[in-house]
Amino acid sequence: MLWGAGDLSDAIIQAKDGDQITFSVLTQSAMPDGPAPGLQGQQNPLGDFFDPWNGGFPQQGQHGGAGGGGGNQPSGGGGMGGFFEDTVWAKRAVNIQREPDASASIPVPQVITVTLPVNKEDIEPPIREWTKVLPTVGRDFKTKITKVAGKPEIKVPAVDIGHITRGQLKMIEKIKDNRKALPAEADKYAMETYQGDKNAGYRYNGQGSKNVDPTGGTDAKRQEVLKQIQLEIGHEGGYSAVNTYDDAIVTLGRGFTRVILAKIMQQVFQAKPEIKEMFLNVGVTWENDKARVLNFENGGIEEGDNALRLIQFDTGILNLFVSLAESEEYGATIAKAQNDHTAALKVPQSVVNTWTDIMAIRLAAHAIHGRGALSWASFSATGGDVHKIMKIVTPVIGGKVKEDHGGALVMSEIQTQVFVNNMAHGKAKEGFDSPAPVVLKPPLAKDSMKGVALFHISGNKYYKQTL
């Protein structure tokens, strides 16, 4: 049973090229045109031909043939009801032809059957259906999309994705044209240097909230704590910020990427479906907690980090997010979704009540915001002691154990800049063995620094922390 055009579309999409689809249509073409005199206002003359909705098949032995219901009544019965009463039969009851004895003549339904071959090559899907009809690209470590060193470009290894139909190619071209029509405003985004690469990616600091106050409640102390945390994580950028230069590939808003970014965008899509349509129209979306981006080169759908690579240098897509996040119409929705997924703002009341050092709170909050492996539960037993906080933070920063440094866990200069100098006005230094740097000249004796973390400042200078 096809209830509408959507069912027909689904049937064709599910069929394979070369299949045959057979349609059988029940018709009442035998009915004459023009009203039969005297029928208006009388009981439905087909009332005993179909019982209330049972699939539309005649009930054997229930109709009275040409004689109808006897007397001057046309085929008396219990009413049709159901689907047919609301559509075909009730609307045409006045057109039933009457026999000379004044009874109704019941036309026999005809069945028209048509068999059509399926040729999907030229079927052009609606552009917003690309996530359903195009294949997902399967990539492994060897074929992943990467950035070209020293250039604002990406390398996309070829991967076999199977056949793309002519109709799908037409759809892809329309999406590509939509992408080209986006205002790029490339001068808004500054090119950043990262790990020696002068064309690592873009940075845009963004703007603040659009009428969204995340503090809430009436507890003045809690409001102040949340205000301070907002100031702290604001270093990651505003609600419309963009960063595409580091290992996170694409970070939008206040430091969100990968799974959390996907959750934020999915919440935005649910609240404002028109935003989802805007991104679908240009070949970008977030589904099932991951980014999905249409690859115009092969016609497939890239997912996860490979998808983020495709928009790393696409200022049109980046600017679409920025323009929405900075608009009066949608800015509050995007800001709220970011706050809802900001774990740093979910401060336990015990921390609000007992931690006396606001910078220790800011340090822990920033570490939570910057590292998904941490939460407020990670710091619940520290009581705000900075040394204990740093012993929890340091192992998840991402340093490397180096044998020539005596087996120490060594943080790079960039990691030191981020986690020591940028967080909570340098509060982390209070967690080291000494706030003053130490001078070390590798190679050091084997295992002489085992159980120690070294934060590289520059040259032979390090901050030292016993773990």
pLDDT at 180: 97
pLDDT at 105: 52
Alpha helices, DSSP H only, in 234-314? 258-271, 273-280, 304-311
Among 323, 344, 365, which residue terminates a domain?
Answer: 344
Over residues 5-64, the pLDDT tens digits come to 888 888 877 888 778 888 887 765 544 444 444 444 444 444 433 334 444 444 443 333
> What SS3 class is residue 302?
strand
Whether residue 352 sits in one domain with residue 292: no
- Mean pLDDT across 395-403: 94
Whether residue 358 sits in one domain with residue 330: no
Over residues 3-14, the pLDDT tens digits come to 888 888 888 778
Whether residue 381 sits in one domain with residue 266: no
Whether residue 338 sits in one domain with residue 360: no
pLDDT at 101: 54
Q: Is residue 4 part of a domain?
A: no
Q: Is residue 131 part of a domain?
A: no
Cis (ω within 30 of 0) for the bond into 443?
yes
CA–CA gap between residue 184 and residue 98 (Å, rounded):
71
> What SS3 class is residue 51?
coil
Measured CA to CA in angstroms, residue 341 lies from 238, 264, 358, 369 at distances of 15, 7, 22, 10
pLDDT at 52: 41
Q: Is residue 135 part of a domain?
A: no
Measured CA to CA in angstroms, residue 357 lies from 47, 225, 386, 388 at distances of 83, 10, 9, 14
Q: Is residue 249 part of a domain?
A: yes
> What SS3 class is residue 220?
helix
Over residues 226-265, the pLDDT tens digits come to 999 988 988 778 999 999 999 999 999 998 999 999 999 9
Q: Is 421's pLDDT higher than 50? A: yes
Q: How confident is the model at residue 460 (pLDDT cuts 50, 70, 90)?
A: very high
CA–CA gap between residue 286 and residue 276 (Å, rounded):
9
Higher pLDDT, 315 or 233: 315
Among 311, 344, 377, which residue terminates a domain?
Answer: 344
**Total domains, the chain:** 3
- Mean pLDDT across 308-333: 96
Q: Is 361's pLDDT higher than 80? A: yes
Q: How confident is the model at residue 354 (pLDDT cuts 50, 70, 90)?
A: very high
Over residues 89-112, the pLDDT tens digits come to 443 444 444 445 555 555 555 677
Whether residue 278 sits in one domain with residue 362: no
CA–CA gap between residue 414 and residue 200 (Å, rounded):
14
Q: Indicate the average pLDDT of the chain.
A: 84
Over residues 264-293, the pLDDT tens digits come to 999 999 999 999 999 999 999 999 999 999
Q: What's the CA angle centered on 416, arms 191 and 306, to 5 degrees?
A: 45
Among 80, 114, 148, which residue terminates a domain?
Answer: 114
Q: Is residue 147 part of a domain?
A: no
By the 10 Å C-beta count (0-12 exposed, 13-18 middle, 19+ buried), 324 is classed as buried
Q: Is 331's pLDDT higher than 60? A: yes
DSSP line for 332-368: HHHHHHHHHT-GGG---HHHHHH---HHHHHHHHHHH
Whether residue 390 sits in one domain with residue 290: no
Q: Is 170's pLDDT higher than 80? A: yes
Smallest CA-to-CA distance from 253 within 196, 317, 207, 298 is with 207
- Mean pLDDT across 371-398: 92
Host domain of residue 368? 347-466
Q: Is residue 155 part of a domain?
A: no
Chain CA centroid to CA 265, Å: 5
Over residues 60-93, the pLDDT tens digits come to 433 333 333 343 333 333 333 344 444 444 434 4
Smallest CA-to-CA distance from 280 within 294, 297, 290, 267 is with 294
Could you give the percent of the chain with pLDDT greater than 70? 81
Q: How confident is the model at residue 353 (pLDDT cuts 50, 70, 90)?
A: very high
CA–CA gap between residue 236 and residue 376 (Å, rounded):
19
Q: Is residue 81 part of a domain?
A: yes
Pair type for strands 408-411 and 452-458: parallel
Whether residue 312 sits in one domain with residue 226: yes
Whether residue 450 sits in one domain with residue 305: no
Instruction: Give 152's contacts (C-beta < 8 A, 6+ positions apart).
Output: 191, 199, 201, 313
Whether residue 433 sits in one domain with residue 401: yes
Measured CA to CA in angstroms, residue 369 lies from 69, 127, 255, 385, 410 at distances of 80, 36, 8, 19, 22
Whether residue 197 sits in one domain with residue 58: no
Whether residue 250 sits in one domain with residue 282: yes
Q: Is residue 168 part of a domain?
A: no
pLDDT at 27: 62
pLDDT at 217: 67
- Mean pLDDT across 195-208: 93
For the chain, the 3-state helix, strand and coil shares in percent, each to the nearest 5, are: 40, 15, 45
pLDDT at 109: 58
Whether residue 294 sits in one domain with residue 362: no
